[in-house]
Structures are given as C-alpha cells and as structure tokens.
Homo-oligomer: A and B are copies of this chain.
Amino acid sequence: MTATEDVRLARVALTWLAEPGTWAVHRLVDELGPVAALDLLLDGGAPDRALRSAVAVRSAGEDVRAVAEQALARTERLGARLVTPEDDEWPVRVAELRRLRLAGTNRKVDLETAPPLCLWARGAWPLAQAFDRSVAVVGARAATPYGTHVATELGYGLADRGWTVVSGGAFGIDSAAHRGALTAGGLTVAVLACGLDRPYPMGNTALFDRIAETGLLVSEWMPGAEPLRPRFLIRNRVIAAATLGTVLVEAAARSGATQTLNRAIGVLRPGMVVPGPVTSAMSVGAHELLREEPKARLVTGIAHVLEEVGRIGHDLAPPARAPERLRDRLDDEATQVLEALPRRKTLALESVATRAGVELRTAMRKLSMLEELGFVVRRDDGYALAPSGASRPA
C-alpha cells in the first residue's frame, strides 16, 4: 500500500507548518486525516491559539501546497523518498510515542513528542526492515578515546550479529557506532535533525555518503531544513522509539544523549548505559542516569546489550556467517525475486515476476532494491545475479 499524492502532500505541508512532534497537529491528523487537517489549519481553524498563530506566521504570503510540492520534487532529485504511515515500509514502532511517559523532564520538551507525520529516507533498505531488529547507540560528541572505543565495538558487534545500528550521525559516539557497523559490513541508520541534502555536521559528509550507500539516512525534516538546536531533541524521540533499545555511551550531565535514553525508557524500551571512569566528565551523565533512573540498566558490552534486546534465542549464539546477513533480512517478496534468478543467466523482468510468483510492479520494485543493494545487476536484456554471487556487501 502506498499513500495517495494528496495525502503525501498534506503530510509534507503539515510537517512544514509546525515542527514535527507537535501534539495538536498529530491529534488533528488522527481525527480528520492529513488532507482535512491541512485544510482546517490553512483556514485558520487550529484548535489552539499557539498553533493557530504559528500556522499564520509560517504560511503568510506562502503557497503552502506549492512549498510541499517543491519539497517532494527536491526529494526525488536527491535520490531520496518520502515515507508515510500509509506506506508498507513505515516503521510502525514510532507510533508507540503516543504512549510515551516521561518523568522529571521539562514540560516544553514533553510537548514535542508526538509520532512523526512522515519521514524522508535515502538508501535502499525499506525502513520497516532496517529498524526491525535495531539498537540505538548514542552519546557525547566530545567523546573520549575510551568512549569511542566502546561505541565502535558495540556498533561492530551489533552489526556483526545482524542488528541495525541506529544513531544520530554526530561527531564522537554517534560516528564511532556508525563506523563500527560499517566495518562489520552491517546495516546502519543515521537519523538526522535536518534535511537529507545537508546532513549535519558537514565534517561527516564522507561518513554520511557511506551510510547512504549501504544503509539509510532518515529525517523528519524536508530537504533544505536547517539543523536548528531544538530539532536534535525532537529527533531523539524517533531514535528511541524506532529501535528495540538504546545504549548510552558517555554523556555529560543532562545532555541530549541522556534525554534519548529517557525517551527510550519512556516508550518501554531497554535503556542501557555504559559506565566509565568516575574521573571522566564524559561519564557524569551516564552515572547520573544509573543512579537516578531505576530503569536504566548498566551494560558493559555486546553480551549485555543482546540480553536486553535479544528476544530470539539465536541472538545469544555465535554470529552467523557475514555474507549471509543482509540477505537474511530481505522481505519475503524480495527473497522470492532473488531466488527466481538463475545462476549465470539473465532473465527478463516478466520472467522474473512469473518465476517469483509476484506482480510485475512488485518484481520491478524489488529488483530495483536488490540492484541497489548489490545482489542483482541490470543488463540490456534483463536482470542477473551480481557477479560476486547472490550476496554482498563489501
């Protein structure tokens, strides 16, 4: 199932009219659907004054629908895509933000915790599959060598066992976690707080390119959106809710990373914290959480993390052979399509669809994904298994 164009347009417009996470907008969409909700807001019918004036300021002299159309066009030019709750690949777990319960945080932030209205994605993996078995690893930008080491090991270890490593793409711990996952040839997702055409920080451009190649860049903000300070905190709730658990490695007192961990606990995910030397300012936030948040769980490595998030027995077993990992994560249709391809022979699209027993449109979509992931190559006369066999990645 995919969203109709007017629904997609309305969701983009709503995301532009008010910052993602705004409950008043989320409730309107819940009641009326995105198209009617947009109409109501543009007619000045917002249920509360704050939203009404925010919409008025934002839309003054602007054709909001045209802005949304331009954003969608720009998305396509970027090689990115819009994903909405109507799409099959929507990461449904983010809906659990509705049930988020937070203790001891300030009210203003609490208000910005509604589920996202839509997400931008760049990278071949469907979001739902990428997040299915995923763990967030977050922490300080000003990480110490100790923290960097621990985050790299966790990123590597999780990816090596077939888990997706999710983080925020920042310097320090985030980067180390992403890099660890990439080194293991695994899947990693950077959830950004700005448009996908300007991933922040710029110094991580090469890293973002590598992530987009084999993993995913994800954002709630349309292309062109700036990485404004409050957006990082808004973004954090998606990291916390889309994953099965969050690990904090190094954090200064009351930092953004400790907030992500509180969000994870708030949506009933394991909130895991790696301790460090008590002499390090970069572990103060971690130790504060372990002292003050009864549900924060001390973990010292991959084994403890898997104990918390691994509900399936084999997660505790030795890792499967690396080349099979990405393939194991394909959905049923993609697997059928891949298995329909004969060894050393090219097959026309129609034949692939017939042999796989799927619709032509589905075969096309899956083949395109398989091509991007390097499982399949496109030839003039059809599709064939990639030369390296039916598996990669690098």
A interface residue numbers (CB < 8 A to B): 146, 149-150, 274-279, 283-284, 287, 290-291, 297-298, 300-301, 304
> Is the beta-carbon distance between B274 and A300 smaller than 8 angstroms?
no
Q: Kindly provide the distance from the CB of A290 to the nearest chain B CB, expressed in whole angstroms.
A: 5
Cα(A197)–Cα(B249), bound, Å: 49
Q: Kindly provide the distance from the CB of A7 to the nearest chain B CB, expressed in whole angstroms.
A: 47
Cα(A149)–Cα(B280), bound, Å: 13
> Is the beta-carbon distance between A275 and B291 smaller than 8 angstroms?
no
> Is the beta-carbon distance between B298 and A290 smaller than 8 angstroms?
yes
* Cβ contact of A278, chosen from B287, B291, B297, B300, cutoff 8 A: B300
Contacting residues, chain B, for A283 (C-beta < 8 A): 275
Contacting residues, chain B, for A150 (C-beta < 8 A): 278-279
> Is the beta-carbon distance between A149 and B298 smaller than 8 angstroms?
no
> Is the beta-carbon distance between B290 and A290 smaller than 8 angstroms?
yes
Contacts A274-B278, A276-B275, A278-B274 given; indicate if A298 touches B304 (C-beta within 8 A): no
Contacting residues, chain B, for A275 (C-beta < 8 A): 275-276, 278, 283, 287, 290, 298
Q: Kindly provide the distance from the CB of A302 to the nearest chain B CB, expressed in whole angstroms.
A: 11
Cα(A284)–Cα(B277), bound, Å: 13
Q: Give me 17 A-to-B residue pairs in the complex whose CB atoms sit less than 8 angstroms apart, sorted by A's number.
A: A146-B279, A149-B279, A150-B278, A275-B275, A275-B276, A275-B283, A275-B287, A275-B290, A276-B276, A276-B277, A276-B278, A278-B301, A287-B298, A287-B300, A291-B298, A291-B304, A298-B298
> Is the beta-carbon distance between A146 and B277 smaller than 8 angstroms?
yes
Cα(A355)–Cα(B279), bound, Å: 52
> Is the beta-carbon distance between B278 and A277 smaller than 8 angstroms?
no
Instruction: Give A300's nearest chain B residue, CB to CB.
Output: B278
Contacting residues, chain B, for A304 (C-beta < 8 A): 291
Q: Kindly provide the distance from the CB of A298 to the nearest chain B CB, expressed in whole angstroms.
A: 5
Contacting residues, chain B, for A297 (C-beta < 8 A): 291
Cα(A300)–Cα(B274), bound, Å: 14
